[in-house]
């Protein structure tokens, strides 16, 4: 796959970082989905800008990538979506740096409260609820990723399943589904077929597992698979971050729909 390189430790990583220019935020005729590294996503749907789980500053683990955009230079965000509280999905420094240009914040239970405490007026959304941003309809989808309950360090509270969500995004140009970090749930195999899946294929028990990822991918054999949660964090022995998109090509139906982008690169949303 042309956009994949390998680190000295053998970890799959994007070949390069492409600088994100201001035109990525301007009005366009269709919908483009940009991968900003790890699980960070920018969607431009006819000029409406969604920023999902942006980690653009001071990440607390060593990286394999450079950032494609300085968070202080982002010109507009119509809605900033946070799927859950993990530090590879929620950066308050990034949120602060683009606060003056962000119109709204959306997050699940508990996460919204934490964001409000930090000065960001987040709107809380229950699992299965819907909201609109311009012409876009967004519905939260169920996940299971409350791994903190297994760790003594985090047992100062109960981490509830509904504090972690995915997003089903309906645009004028098609549908995008972010299952988010999650164990594979029966509901994940009963969705309508999305035109694009923001695809975590981490072989980790609190993620989908590789076997689960193949099952999910082949349940929706025509969905474009934009690979996320890979090649960004220098962790060759940590299966949460070290998936290889070349493996997917061998195992999924219609392998030409597997897209491993460079950081800062976009994939056009196409109705199937």
3-state secondary structure 13-52: EECCECCCCHHHHCCCCCEEEEECCCCCEEEEECCEEEEE
Enumerate residues 6+ apart whose C-beta is below 8 A from 203: 209, 210, 213, 239, 243
Tell me the two tokens of residue 272.
């199937």
What is the per-residue DSSP string for 228-250?
ESSSSB--TT-TTT---HHHHHH
What is the predicted pLDDT for the residue at 60? 85
Q: Which one-letter DSSP state was computed for residue 263? A: B
Closest of 190, 89, 92 to residue 147, by C-alpha = 89
CATH number of the CATH domain containing 232: 3.60.15.10
The continuous run of DSSP H or E covering 142 comes out as strand 136-142
Expressed as residue numbers, the domain containing 174 is 4-268
| Residue 120 neighbours by CB distance under 10 Å | 19
Closest of 152, 148, 151, 68 to residue 110, by C-alpha = 148
What is the predicted pLDDT for the residue at 208? 98
What is the predicted pLDDT for the residue at 2? 76
For residues 28 and 16, give the distance between their C-alpha atoms in angstroms, rounded to a whole number.
Answer: 25
User: Number of folded domains in the chain?
Assistant: 1
- 10-residue averages of pLDDT along the chain (272 residues): 91 98 97 98 98 94 96 98 97 98 98 98 98 98 98 97 98 98 98 98 98 98 98 96 97 98 98 92
Q: By three-state DSSP, how is residue 112 classified? A: helix
- The 8 Å CB, 24+ separation contacts for 150-154 are none
Closest of 174, 184, 263, 192 to residue 227, by C-alpha = 263
Task: Supply the pTM of this predicted model.
Answer: 0.98
Q: By three-state DSSP, how is residue 173 classified? A: coil
Tell me the two tokens of residue 177.
């589904």
Beta bridge partners of 178: 167
Is 162 buried (19+), middle (13-18) or exposed (0-12) by CB count in 10 A?
middle
């Amino acid at each position: 796959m042309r956009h994949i390189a390998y680190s000295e430790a053998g970890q799959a990583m994007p070949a390069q970082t492409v600088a994100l220019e201001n035109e990525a935020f301007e009005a366009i005729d269709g919908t483009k989905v940009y991968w900003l590294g790890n699980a960070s996503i920018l969607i431009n749907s006819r000029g409406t800008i969604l920023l999902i789980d942006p980690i653009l500053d001071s990440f607390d683990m060593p990286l394999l990538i450079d950032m494609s955009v300085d968070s202080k230079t982002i010109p507009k965000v119509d809605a900033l979506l946070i799927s859950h509280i993990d530090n590879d999905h929620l950066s308050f420094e990034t949120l602060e740096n683009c606060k003056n240009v962000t119109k709204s914040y959306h997050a699940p239970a508990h996460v919204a409260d934490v964001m409000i405490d930090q000065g960001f007026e987040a709107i809380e959304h229950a699992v299965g609820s819907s909201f609109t941003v311009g012409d876009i309809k967004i519905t939260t989808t169920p996940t299971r990723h409350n791994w903190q309950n297994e760790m003594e360090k985090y047992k100062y509270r109960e981490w509830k399943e509904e504090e972690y969500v995915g997003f089903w995004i309906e645009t004028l140009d098609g549908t995008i589904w972010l299952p988010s970090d999650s164990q594979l749930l029966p509901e994940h195999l009963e969705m309508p077929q999305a035109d694009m899946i923001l695809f975590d294929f981490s072989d980790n028990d609190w993620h989908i597992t590789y076997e689960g990822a193949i099952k999910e991918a082949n349940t929706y054999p025509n969905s474009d698979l934009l690979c996320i949660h890979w090649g960004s964090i220098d962790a060759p022995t940590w299966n949460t971050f070290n998936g290889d998109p070349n493996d997917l090509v061998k195992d999924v139906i219609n392998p030409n729909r597997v897209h491993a982008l460079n950081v800062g690169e976009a994939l056009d949303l196409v109705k199937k």
